[in-house]
């Protein structure tokens, strides 16, 4: 299956979902391998986990979510798309992350008020050569995320994505703007897990 599953194909409820276009861009920034170990923190409906599972077919995806409704939606979408390599982790990050295997790819789709704590734990556990992608709809979370990744010595790229989607208006077409989303990517190819410069 190709990336870019239509949003309407997912079973959805009242839990926020990473929209199709943002999902495709975020997964492309993760630079997934077929055997990647992936943490999807704040997995919501599981849309990112599902798409990632079709790329990392020999890897493992850990969908971390604290909302009970989200857990049920993730289960439903795993069943719908026949994903065999997604493990659901019901609990609050970062505490629940301690029992997971070290990741080489991390996606943070939702962090609430625990952004700093989640990034701190995640970055300490991320393997050499790993990639972390943070999505944010607020300037505050985007600023905090970028600063933390830079302070830890990662190579950081930030983009702001503005998407408008067409909608029929009688016999004409109008464009409906979606909320801008910040996508912050960090790569730790130049540092070890203690974030010391390699060779120092």
Strand partners, 158: 184
190: pLDDT strictly greater than 60? no
Query: pLDDT at residue 195 above 50?
Result: no
Average pLDDT of the residues in 74-100? 96
Q: What is the average pLDDT across 143-152?
A: 95
Beta bridge partners of 131: 105, 187
Domains of the chain: 16-187 (3.40.50.150)
Q: Rounded to whole angstroms, how far apart are CA atoms 112 and 187? A: 23
């Amino acid at each position: 299956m190709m990336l870019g599953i239509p949003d309407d194909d997912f079973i959805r409820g009242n839990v926020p979902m990473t929209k199709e276009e943002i999902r495709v861009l975020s997964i492309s920034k993760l630079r997934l391998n077929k055997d990647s170990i992936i943490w999807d923190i704040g997995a919501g409906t599981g849309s990112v986990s599902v798409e990632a599972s079709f790329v990392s077919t020999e890897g493992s995806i850990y969908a971390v979510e604290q909302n009970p409704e989200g857990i049920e939606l993730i289960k439903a979408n795993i069943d719908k798309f026949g994903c065999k390599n997604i493990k659901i982790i019901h609990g609050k990050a970062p505490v629940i992350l301690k029992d997971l295997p070290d990741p080489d790819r991390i996606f943070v789709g939702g962090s609430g008020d625990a952004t700093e704590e989640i990034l701190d734990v995640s970055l300490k556990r991320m393997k050499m050569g790993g990639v972390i992608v943070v999505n944010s709809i607020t300037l505050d979370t985007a600023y905090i995320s970028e600063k933390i990744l830079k302070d830890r010595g990662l190579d950081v790229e930030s983009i702001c994505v503005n998407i408008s989607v067409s909608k029929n208006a009688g016999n004409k077409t109008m464009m409906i703007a979606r909320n801008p989303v910040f996508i912050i990517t960090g790569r730790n190819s130049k540092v070890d897990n203690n974030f010391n410069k390699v060779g120092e």
